Amino acid sequence: MKFHLDKGVLVDAVSWATRTLPVRPAMPILQGVRIIADASGELQLSTFDYEVSAQITTAAEVDTPGDVLVQGRMLSEIVRALPNRDVSVALEGTKLRVTCGNSRFQLATLPVEEYPQLPAMPPVLGSVAADVFASAIAQVTVAASKDDTLPLLTGVRMEIEGEKMTLMATDRYRLGMRELTWNPANPSVSTSALVRSRTLSEVARSLTGGGSVEIALEEGSSHQLIGFESGGRRTTSTLVDGDYPPVRRLFPDSVPVTAVVATQPLIEAVKRVSLVAERNTPVRLSFSEGQVALEAGAGDDAQASEVLEAQLEGDEIVVGYNSGFLLDGLGAVGTDFVKLAFTDSVKPSVLTGQDCLEGSADSSYRYLLMPMRI
């Protein structure tokens, strides 16, 4: 096997293919990245750990076609360190030689015949604009649990009803839900899947260009695998088992109190005030006519306060939040103003975005946050 290509193209392909490699794989062979050079000038790099597979295809000048398996993280580090020149890669016996300018590396190969076959993509269920999908994933995954002892809550529930797709995630303390329009292959499709949050985040990071992403999933309830493909990059992932909790009912039916605040000033104020907040103590927000007062700290400890303009409808209210969870929600709304809706000071609050002070809230994204007791 022998091929040549631009260093930047190789770095991009290797980095993307190896991004999901396990830190502690079940078998050493799963640390590998498989490289297939085709006589047609196509270079394919892939990784697989029996849960998530990644495959990227790019063009290269192929002198000799072939197939090789090498240690993925080492290859990634090497290609990133190469000078900005064209790279030549050649298989010589049991070594893979990488040459770029005056730099030369030799990597030991792994037994490619022992490497597992990548799973086939399920049928394509439809497509969605890549930028819209990436934005929706980012908004929802902030609320997914990082606790692997609760695998069900580390997933993002994806519900599809015709042209409407809903993504939702919760860690029991907050809930992010985003609704968007997509292009189903079957307009009457109705299905759902629980996808690992980590996998979706990786998919979102790979959708840097425009265009669309194809989503592949078996219709019905027996599916075990989901796939995403865009711009020559393909990812598959096994799904999370279990019945997701009925989180939609957590959203209140009515909210007697609402407040609208400029988003970025509120983010900056929360960051400043929370500097004196002890671990697991809330940042307090006191809403009154025309303003919101932020406070943290109490008694003999360090204290901080700040006042911002706010438009309040309903009675005055004081609520306390985990500052990190509040900042996640404020950062996810993605609009100039945020609307906070309250039932009372101890029941969940709902954050939505709106473009201007007097405008209407965009309910396509909702971030529900449990207050902390003050």
pLDDT in tens, 186-197: 999 999 999 999
Judged by phi (left if over 0) then psi (alpha if -120 to 50, else beta), residue 206 lies in alpha
Q: Which residues contact 236 (CB under 8 A, 6 or more apart)?
A: 52, 53, 118, 119, 121, 122, 216, 225, 226, 227, 228
What is the arithmetic mean of pLDDT over 293-312?
91
The answer, yes or no, to whether residue 114 has pLDDT greater than 80, is yes
Residue scoring higher pLDDT (91 or 206): 91
E strand spans, 182-249: 183-184, 190-196, 212-217, 225-230, 233-238
Beta bridge partners of 174: 369
Domains 124-248 and 251-369 share a fold: yes
pLDDT more than 70, % of the chain:
98
Confidence of residue 140 (pLDDT cuts 50, 70, 90): very high
Domain 251-369 is found in CATH 3.10.150.10: yes
Domain ranges of the chain: 2-114, 124-248, 251-369
What does pLDDT average to over the chain? 93
Q: Tell me the pLDDT tens digit for each residue of 262-274.
A: 999 999 999 999 9
Q: Pairing relation of β-strands 225-230 and 86-92?
A: unpaired
What is the arithmetic mean of pLDDT over 354-370?
92
- The CATH number for 2-114, chosen from 3.40.50.300, 3.10.150.10, 3.30.1340.30, 3.30.379.10, is 3.10.150.10
Nearest to 97 by CA among 113, 84, 82, 111: 82
Per-residue model confidence (pLDDT) at position 208: 63
Q: pTM for this one?
A: 0.90
Query: Which residue matches tokens 């030549």?
Result: 88
What is the arithmetic mean of pLDDT over 177-204?
94
Judged by phi (left if over 0) then psi (alpha if -120 to 50, else beta), residue 50 lies in left
Confidence of residue 171 (pLDDT cuts 50, 70, 90): very high
The CA distance from 262 to 358, in Å, is 12
Per-residue model confidence (pLDDT) at position 43: 97
pLDDT more than 90, % of the chain:
85
Three-class secondary structure of residue 14 per DSSP: helix
Q: Which residues contact 239 (CB under 8 A, 6 or more apart)?
A: 155, 193, 194, 195, 223, 224, 225, 226
What is the arithmetic mean of pLDDT over 299-305?
84
Mean pLDDT is lowest, of 145-149, 153-157, 323-327, 357-361, for 357-361
Cβ contact 156:170 at 8 Å: no
* Token couple for 231: 């711009």
The answer, yes or no, to whether residue 359 has pLDDT greater than 90, is no
Judged by phi (left if over 0) then psi (alpha if -120 to 50, else beta), residue 231 lies in left
124-248: what CATH class?
Answer: alpha beta
What separation in angstroms does the CA of 51 have from each of 30, 48, 225, 243, 369?
Answer: 11, 7, 9, 19, 31
Q: Which residues contact 167 (CB under 8 A, 6 or more apart)?
A: 136, 137, 140, 156, 157, 158, 159, 177, 178, 180
The answer, yes or no, to whether residue 147 has pLDDT greater than 80, is yes
The CA distance from 130 to 179, in Å, is 15
Q: Tell me the pLDDT tens digit for each residue of 209-261.
A: 668 999 999 866 667 899 999 988 999 999 998 899 999 999 999 999 999 99
Torsion of CA 353, 356, 357, 360, to 10 degrees: -60
* Token couple for 38: 């085709």
The CA distance from 219 to 162, in Å, is 12
Per-residue model confidence (pLDDT) at position 209: 66
